Amino acid sequence: LRQGADFKLSISTLRISGILPSTGDIQLQTEHLATRQDSVVEDISAGCGIINFKVNRKLLVQKMLEPFGKEEDDKFGLNSELFNTLKKGTTLVEYSSPNIAKKFHAGHLRSTIIGNFIANLKQCLGNNVIRMNYLGDWGMQFGLLGAGFAQFGCQEKLKENPLQHLFEVALLVRIDLSKRHVYVQVNKEAEHNEDMKQAARDFFRQLEQHDNEAVSLWQQFREITVDEYQQVYKRLGVHFDVYSGESFHQHQAQEVVQQLQSRDLLKTSEKGTGVVDLSTSGDTSSVCTVLRSDGTTLYITRSALGQRVRDIFNLTDKSQANHFRQLFHILLAMGHSWADRCKHVPFGLVRGMKTRKGEVVFLEDVLDEARARMLHNMSQSKTTKEMDNPEDTAEKVGISALIVQDFRGPLQSDYKFDWDRMLQAQGDTGVFLQYTHARLSRSVFTTELDVLCSYDEVLYQSAQDLQPKHLVNFLLKLCHLIASAHRELPVKGSAQDVAQARLRLFSGACSVLANGMRILGITPVDQM
């Protein structure tokens, strides 16, 4: 009914619903029902056991406009009875999860923005959401880095430009070995130097044994990395309630080993590694390694353990699907029933992401280029308004373009990155979303805009499959309808009552557009 379209109901449907008695002449019952007067429906007719009717469009529009212009604008669509069927509670969403002691890699963009969308969606639907960043802050990579820092590191350079000193990617900067930064140097040395490999293993063992000097250096690396990452998250409009990581579960990792042993799940392979046989669980990869031959733990042993929440969502690319299948099977085998509430949300890869500098590695480069390109486009447009901070607007619109390009299709699909298409002002882009919102927030009823009434259905569908494409496509459709309404139905010069109705509808459309954008992780702008 919410769509205001033409409807047909069969007499059998009406009987099942209890509207008509289960016996009697079908045609007579249909004709009798069609003579009933009702303020909600109109143009009722009957024939061959079918009732045809239309929803009263005037009443539909009145009911749709009621919430707008009031304080509950931002709650429009969220009080729908549709959401009564959704279970609510505390939800943990684990996303982004970069490795510390490295610059923020562009490959973590999808995890960051998809996780932020799921957290926003769950929260707006009434869940208590815990946003967790589970950092890669433990493992043999820190054995390698710790051993290398002792030989090549410099505290002065670490203070000046910490991550640049720790990690420099050879694809971006080609410098001779004497000037190579720590992470690159160490890996090159380790390729040819067995002593370096042993030093790395020794340093990681010291970490697991809580050697003061090793832990102090590791802690320094972690703190400076999180500080830099928070600057990138701020640009993306992303925040976290908890910065966790593998290191937080290092003590529990040994408890996990003991539990596996007590349940006779832990076996020793021919190579001396600790493994768990998952063949009885039906897992495609039946053997999962949980311990190295020297007794040190692996990532899967240190993965998130025992959160007492209703749902747990883990965001990673689809290549890690098998890891999470194994992890969930192990947790269930250990007797953790809450593992049934864990869900891995996989996503595809981004192809061809480049900047003018060349192949992209760091997310900051992508954000900088999106801002620069958008600023250039704004400067070339005759419709660009005067604004106090054009760089800030360009940043927000550029990030909107990144998010909408990413969210247009199914999350599990790979997609090709396209700067030109992404930043088009016309078409189904983030720029078009922002332009429409900015125009509405500074301006100016078409019966077709009753698409607003389906907002709750779109949110419900998104909550069911965690796909942002439903919301993106809804908002883009709304933008196209608004553009048509702007051309054909002006406010200025219209009769008072008509102008007021149109203003309320445009205001409501603006509110829905802004709320939907925020769920996607997009900050609406008021000027462009």
| Residues belonging to the active site | 102, 105, 108
> Which amino acid type is present at position 114?
I
User: CB atoms < 10 A from the CB of 44, how many?
Assistant: 15
283 φ, ψ to 5°? -70, 140
DSSP state of 94: E
What span, in angstroms and rounded, lies between the C-alpha atoms of 67 and 32?
A: 36
Task: State the DSSP code for 297.
Answer: B
CA-CA-CA-CA dihedral for 358, 360, 364, 368, to nearest 10: 40
Instruction: Give the bridge partners for 242, in sequence order.
Output: 132
User: In what helix (H) or strand (E) does residue 247 lie, and over which residues does it extend?
Assistant: none
Cα angle 220, 221, 227; round to 5: 90
Q: How far is CA 517 from CA 14, 247, 363, 508, in A?
A: 40, 35, 22, 14
DSSP 215: H
* φ and ψ of 242, to 5 deg: -140, 130
Q: Inter-axis angle of helices 182-192 and 140-152, to 10 degrees?
A: 100
SS3 351: strand
Q: Exposed, middle or buried: residue 308 (CB in 10 Å: 0-12, 13-18, 19+)?
A: exposed
Beta-carbon contacts of residue 503 (< 8 Å; ≥ 6 apart): 444, 491
> Which distant-in-sequence residues (6+ apart) come within 8 Å of 244 by Cβ?
132, 133, 134, 135, 304
Tokens for 223, please give them. Answer: 């703190």
- Identify the DSSP state of 360: -
Question: What does the alpha-carbon distance between residue 377 and residue 441 come to, in Å, rounded to a whole number?
Answer: 21
In angstroms, the CA 108 to CA 113 distance is 9
Q: For 75-177, where are the alpha helices, taking DSSP H only?
A: 109-124, 140-152, 155-160, 162-166
* 19: Cα separation from own chain's centroid: 44
Looking at residue 454, the DSSP 8-state letter turns out to be: G
Which single residue is written with the structure tokens 């709750």? 456
